[in-house]
Amino acid sequence: MANGSREKELIAGHQKTTYGQWIQREGLPVVHGYGVEDVRQLEMAHWSRLGGKSGFIHLYGMEGFTGMYVAEIPPERALEPEHHLYEEVICILQGNGATEIWQEGEPNGFSNGAREVFFPHRSIAGTGCSMAGGNPCYSWQ
């Protein structure tokens, strides 16, 4: 996606940040650009932190204030829970499933489906996919 000198400069700047270095250490594909048409089509690799496929997205203009990734949730499985120390926005892009959010040790569960958005504020969240027949669910965070 990046072919101009300005884009190369933006990528180099991002890679120097602590967050950019952490992304590199995680070993996942990173898409750089001004926008992404369909995040479900991005290159992904297994991310042991989540227990599923994922890929990072770095949009120019965000200036490192937010980080994004897309995750593929295997059918009839769940991703590993994540501990969120900050504001998080999760959007289910495709599929149906369930999410549990733990705050102060108490779990709260709810069902979710495509185009639903939720905000696990400083909590632990785990999302699963109930799709059968080999169809994965996708989330964007």
Total domains in the fold of the chain: 1
pLDDT of residue 2: 47
**pTM (2 d.p.):** 0.76
The range of the structural domain enclosing residue 31 comes to 5-140
Residue 33 sits in a domain whose CATH number is 2.60.120.10
């069902």: which residue's tokens? 111
| Tally of CB atoms within 10 A around 133 | 6
Q: What is the pLDDT along the chain (141 residues), one digit of tens a residue?
A: 446 787 777 666 666 777 778 888 889 998 888 888 888 889 999 999 889 999 988 887 776 667 788 888 888 888 888 876 677 788 888 888 888 877 777 777 888 888 888 777 666 667 766 655 567 777 766
pLDDT of residue 53: 92
* Alpha-carbon distances of 16 from 24, 62, 65, 96, 141, rounded to whole Å: 10, 15, 14, 38, 22
pLDDT of residue 10: 67
